[in-house]
Amino acid sequence: MITVNNLHKSFDGTEILKGISTVFEQGKTNLIIGQSGSGKTVFLKSLLGLHTPEEGTISFHDKIYQNLSKAEKRKLRVQIGMVFQGSALFDSMTVEENVMFPMQMFSQKSLEEMRERANLVIDRVQLINANHKFPSEISGGMQKRVAIARAIVMNPKYLFCDEPNSGLDPKTAIVIDNLIQEITQEYNITTVINSHDMNSVMEIGQKIVFLQHGLKAWEGSNKDIFKTDNKAVTDFVYSSNLMKKVRKMYISNEQ
């Protein structure tokens, strides 16, 4: 669980985050959504410790990040997995080597133990016969699977995903969404996803935080979002005629 309390962050005198408070729940897929410029990326980077807020706290299971020593912060970072927007794989490394990389950096495992663990998570994300291929030799969807395998290889308590469906076709995007949700529930991880994909919102949005102009304008689940009368949310989520029809059908079926 990650608890955010009254978070403020500014750049060059311009306030980007304006007192955000929320809780990201363990074992659930927590999504951050909002228009460009709403503060999503700054919020995510603040959670990761890449930005230092001027005010407010971020707590990881009741441990306030700002109060931790350098050694405690390093220990916490080992418990965090990250799936980057562009996968961020090393082109010169094979799939297996990419997945092993965090263990080489942060563990004392032997080469045999690292390879065994890497192969275990590669199998878990259902990458078949790809261990010794290079990123350029596999599809975008497979690259995302490699990124997920690398993110979970250290058994993290927290998983952050920045636009994990970026550049994927709709069918592959749904597969990646489902995989992230399965892993979240299977390992009881606190997963936070920065997303603009409305399919992800509807499919796996167990907890959704909607940001607008640096403020938390709404929060709820993917079921709540169908019924909300918050105009900012409905204008954003149901901006297309197709999404308006989907919402109308859902409400009609609920009555």
For residue 165, the one-letter residue type is N
DSSP assignment string, 28-65: SEEEEE--TTSSHHHHHHHHTTSS--SEEEEEETTEEG
Q: How far is C-alpha 190 from the geometric centre of its chain's CA atoms? A: 9
For tokens 């007192």, the residue is 19
Tokens of 191: 């997963």
Tokens of 172: 């592959």
Q: Residue 184: what pLDDT?
A: 93
Reported as a single tens digit per residue, the pLDDT across 234-250 is: 888 776 666 666 666 66
Q: d(Cα 209, Cα 224) in Å, to the nearest integer?
A: 12
Phi, psi of 188 (to 5 degrees): 55, 50
Q: d(Cα 41, Cα 22) in Å, to the nearest integer?
A: 16
Reported as a single tens digit per residue, the pLDDT across 183-221 is: 999 999 999 999 888 888 888 889 999 999 999 999 999
**Number of residues in the chain:** 255
